[in-house]
Chain A
């Protein structure tokens, strides 16, 4: 009985060059295949992870600022009694430094404990919404209620935050 490989044996004698060529080509093809699989797996996984992290970050950011949307309409429409008052901006800045900067950063840019207050979600919020958030906190996300500060002081902080908005817009322009 003939060996199985004998079926594929060419009619003529096979030279060592051809055998060597076949071996080299096979090794190259297999290597390319393995490397491709490896690259696709690593890059694909990394891409997937990056996408997941990005989605998580977006989702987290969305939920971080989602509390702004929870302010009742009546509360959002409240006007800031100190709007444009430079003294209130200074007083609000002092209060921010004393009560808020520890979590939100000295320039309100955010820290691990608290989100940035310079983001458009906050900048676009009405003074009434900011006041409502200050008064009610976001307890489930770690922000305490600040109603222990008198109402005027909370409005002074809002005035300060609004001044940051103006600064930020000027800077962007």
Chain B
């Protein structure tokens, strides 16, 4: 089919892109309910199902003291390579009102499940490389001494700064009686030797609104909603560890998992001190494509 529709030179030049487009278009429609957690910053220990691709779009509206409010956005492509390894690509951008809209960088992350079975606390190792500009405002992590005034300058000024960072998290998560509690200690290192190691945290708790499924397929059943709260912030760096000059947020979160594979998330983060943005209103939409890996495999000559 690919051969018939797409000319040979294009197929030769962009095999990966074509495979991706066809996979998304012709991925087997499934009834897989994503059952995604409501967290936007915190991670629990559940990885993407093997062979599934989840495409996610998130937006963060932030208020800015002494500057223009902004809307930062990012797209995630999350792929379950195996039952113990999930790999992900982020592409970030932002619009600062009365200023401009710019691309701000990308991130590549990998999560590895460390234990085969479920335990009281389940550890997952998270490793991320990010290449972003100083204008990146998605605030997916608030690290070290990150404070709201760092974002007050214009995009033209902020984008001159380039960050190459390595970020590591230990995702500790536990599920009991329907409740999930997740704690993520975070360590970040700007790859410039002069830059210190930065510390941060994210914690979250969530629970489905109903623990028992209803017999019928439904969009508005309570079991499709998961509500919770997350808190995140910086913990200083190796040169000055502690809570001074750090920002912290508390955010109620909710996820709505639809039987049609779509998930909506909403979070309103409130700054807990003067160093924080007053409001970070976040929303996200995602869709899971199960069997993506199999479709791509077939396009490249795998067994039918």
Contact = CB atoms under 8 A, between A and B. Distances in A.
Contacts of B35: 99, 148-149
Choose among B44, B180, B212 the residue with the greatest number of A CB atoms under 10 Å from its CB. Answer: B212
A124 to B, nearest CB: 22
A68 interface: no
A87 B212 CA distance: 11
Contacts of A137: 83, 117-118
8 contacts: A94-B216, A135-B118, A144-B47, A144-B49, A144-B80, A148-B46, A152-B213, A156-B212
A112 B83 CA distance: 15
A5 to B, nearest CB: 61
A102 B30 contact: yes
Interface residues of A, number: 32
3 closest cross-chain pairs (CB), A and B: A90-B215, A98-B33, A150-B211
Contacts of B212: 91, 150, 152-153, 156
A41 B106 CA distance: 59
A24 interface: no
Given A91-B215, A139-B83, A150-B212, A98 B117 contact: no
Q: A-side binding surface: helix, strand, loop or mixed?
A: helix
A156 B51 CA distance: 25
A136 to B, nearest CB: 4
A75 B83 CA distance: 23
Nearest to A101: B31
Contacts of A156: 212-213
A167 interface: no
Contact of B215 (A94, A138, A143): A94
Contact of B83 (A101, A144, A148, A150): A144
A140 B83 CA distance: 7
A102 B118 contact: no
Contact of A147 (B47, B118, B215, B217): B118
A145 to B, nearest CB: 6
Given A135-B118, A142-B50, A151-B178, A102 B291 contact: yes
What range describes how many residues of B lie at the interface?
35 or more
Contact of B116 (A97, A139, A150): A139
B32 A147 contact: no
A36 interface: no
Given A102-B291, A113-B294, A140 B116 contact: yes
A151 B211 contact: yes
Choose among A137, A142, A143, A147 the residue with the greatest number of B CB atoms under 10 Å from its CB. Answer: A147
Contacts of A144: 46-47, 49-50, 80, 83
B83 to A, nearest CB: 4
A95 interface: yes
A115 to B, nearest CB: 14
A157 to B, nearest CB: 9
Interface string B91-120: 000000000000000000000010011100
B47 A151 contact: no
A136 B213 contact: no
B290 to A, nearest CB: 5
A135 B122 CA distance: 13
A139 B215 contact: no
Given A98-B259, A99-B33, A148 B50 contact: no
Interface in B1-43: 30-33, 35, 37
A139 B113 contact: yes
B33 to A, nearest CB: 4
